[in-house]
Amino acid sequence: MIELSEAWLLRLIGANTKSDVWAAVTACLAKIFEVESAQLLSHNSAFRPWIDIPLCGFAKELASASVGLFTTQITIDPNWQSMVVIGLPLGKSIGGRAITRCTLNKTRFTADMGVFYLRQIAELAASDLDRIQAYKNLVD
């Protein structure tokens, strides 16, 4: 896992476009967490509460509890057992985004799990997205 985490950080640091950052966030995190799906969700201010307290738990319960928020952007596979939705602490220029991770493993993401590491990943991803946005604003 350490090698995968290092590879993810190097890919994130080397990203020069928003799509490069999104690819690093989704593809690499899916490998690190050994999940079937990792996605970056589009802007929604309702994701802000999930910056401090990510939404973790059984996929079917979360989908029904938050149907208006993230299920409009992703299709919940009926085979997924657990998932997490983490808000990204982005600058005001980008707005509220979130990362989801979904898996067949029902014990991977639980409502009572520790989220320190998940928040650190969200902060790193958000920092890189902010960096790309700041560079874009300088060029434009």
Q: Look at the chain and report how many structural domains it folds into.
A: 1
pTM, full prediction: 0.77
pLDDT band at residue 121, thresholds of 50, 70 and 90? confident
* Bridge partners for 38 per DSSP: 101
Q: What is the pLDDT of residues 52-102, one digit of tens each?
A: 888 888 877 776 666 557 667 777 788 989 888 888 887 754 456 788 888
> Residue 42 is part of a domain; what is its CATH number?
3.30.450.40
Q: Where are the alpha helices (DSSP H) in 24-115?
A: 29-33, 49-52, 59-65
- The predicted pLDDT at position 105 comes to 92
pLDDT of residue 73: 77
Could you tell me the residue range of the domain that residue 49 belongs to? 2-139
Predicted local distance difference test score (pLDDT) of residue 93: 44
Do 24 and 8 form a contact (C-beta atoms < 8 A)? yes
